[in-house]
Amino acid sequence: MESIFKGSGTALVTPMKENGEINYDSMAELIEAQIAGNTDALIVCGTSGEAPTLDDPEHLEAVKFAVEQTKGRIPVIAGTGSNNTAHAVMMTEEAEKLGADGVLLVTPYYNKATQDGLYAHYRTIAAATKLPCIVYNVPSRTGTNIQPATMARLARDQENIRAIKEASGNISQVAKLASYLDGSFDIYSGNDDQIVPLCSLGGIGVISVLSNVAPKETHDMVMMCLEGNYEEARKLQLRALPLIDQLFIEVNPIPVKAALNMQGFHVGSPRLPLTELTDAHKETLMAAMKEFGCL
């Protein structure tokens, strides 16, 4: 099985103008900076991209723009998940038409599906597309945890369900998942503070917030792991922890948009109900960025 990508996939923010519209000039700058920084894939219109407040036409326009700007240099993975299975199917089909290289599918939120419901949800979406699908497990946001046995069942029964973005934070769960899958399925870390631990269990990369502001270092951390250089990877992981902590000092993507603005990318403010980073947190974020060397 060929992996969708190995390394660091950036969970790209969606830049906004002052009037709230998507800022495509800034998005182009971000994409070029990511590619120049050795990022291995772009994930657009996910959590960091404020997908919950994008309507369908602008969501798909953002995917289209990213595909066209990237020009095949690295994979573009579109966030098309929903707690409405039919809506997720429609968005996935549209993303495929627009040229996306894969889709990221968050576990259904609020509905709180059973494990059988999750299985049926993902199989229904995957059956509607030829694109490789990444399941996104983030119980802290969705209230639903996809169990390792369910994930293994999906990997076995649906050929294009190819990977998981595992953001449960539960390393024991990741270990169990890895033992069930036995290398036949790709695991990406969904937590920047667990890149090295997850790679040590057989993970092949990260879908990252950190890489928005530190693309080269995030890519390098994964590659050190994949090359077996865990000592240097560990050092980089620990050095990045203060910055990672600040990037989640308020709910993502509030801090990372502030960080990118500090770097001069003009990504604007988040859409309501998310708000600007507080002044006190801006100071601690700026200090952490300077200490890490990305400002």
Reference 260, options 193, 195, 215; nearest CA is 215
Model pLDDT, residue 54: 98
From CA 201, how far away is CA 191, in angstroms rounded?
Answer: 14
Q: What is the pLDDT of residue 69?
A: 98
* C-alpha 84: how far from chain center: 20
Beta carbons of 166 and 197 less than 8 angstroms apart: no
Does 110 qualify as catalytic in the annotation? no
Taking the C-alpha atoms of residue 87 and residue 92, their distance in angstroms, rounded to an integer, is 8
Residue 137 CA: distances (Å) to CA of 81, 83, 160:
11, 13, 17
pLDDT for residue 2: 87
Q: For residues 188 and 198, what is the distance between their CA atoms, to the nearest angstrom?
A: 8
Predicted pLDDT at 163: 97
Q: What's the pLDDT at 183?
A: 76
Q: Which pTM was predicted?
A: 0.96
Cis link prior to 253 (omega < 30° from 0)? Answer: yes
* Cα 164 to Cα 277: distance, rounded to the nearest angstrom: 30
**What CA–CA distance (Å, rounded) separates 44 from 70?**
12
Q: Which of 64, 119, 122, 136 is catalytic?
A: 136
The residue from 165, 180, 257, 282 that is catalytic is 165
Mean pLDDT by 10 residues, the chain (295 residues): 93 96 98 98 97 97 98 98 98 98 97 97 98 97 96 95 96 94 90 98 97 98 98 98 98 98 97 97 98 97
**Burial of 266 from C-beta contacts in 10 A (0-12 / 13-18 / 19+):** middle
The pLDDT score that the predictor gives to residue 52 is 96
Annotation says 136 is catalytic: yes
**Whole-angstrom distance, CA of residue 59 vs CA of residue 104:** 14
User: In the chain, what are the domains?
Assistant: 7-227 (3.20.20.70)
